[in-house]
Amino acid sequence: MDAIHLEDLAFFAYHGVHEEEARLGQRFHIDLSCYLDLDPAGRKDEIALTVNYAELVGVVEEVVTRTRFRLIERLAGAVAERVLAFDPRIERVRVRVHKPGAPLPIATGRVSVEVDRQRGG
């Protein structure tokens, strides 16, 4: 299956279980893979036959910045749901949410979750 990948999209938002995360906010990074048939766009070289990347980024930004989630698992699921609803040509979506500022008891590290959803599944 063909795919469009958008990687390391950075957004400032207020997700988290801890009160200071909701108050102060932090950066979240999103990796997105959308699976669809890219053959028509590739053959005719027309944007109308594929997913517009700029519009897709706007859809992700809307979910990430306009709703507060306690868990990044829920954030990832909400992004996946919205992307599938955005364009019926997208048959499957994989979303990875990175939370570089997660409160961990070590000096470095990064937490991420990944969800994989498909239409009708």
Domains in the chain: boundaries: 3-118
Give the residue-averaged pLDDT of 72-95: 97
pLDDT digits (tens, 9 = 90+) for 73-84: 999 999 999 999
pLDDT digits (tens, 9 = 90+) for 102-117: 666 665 667 889 999 9
Selection from 74, 5, 2, 9 nearest residue 33 by Cα = 5
The residues annotated with a catalytic role in the active site are: 99
Determine the CATH number of domain 3-118: 3.30.1130.10
Q: Which amino acid is at 20?
A: E
Say what the pLDDT of residue 12 is: 96
- Three-state secondary-structure class, residue 10: strand
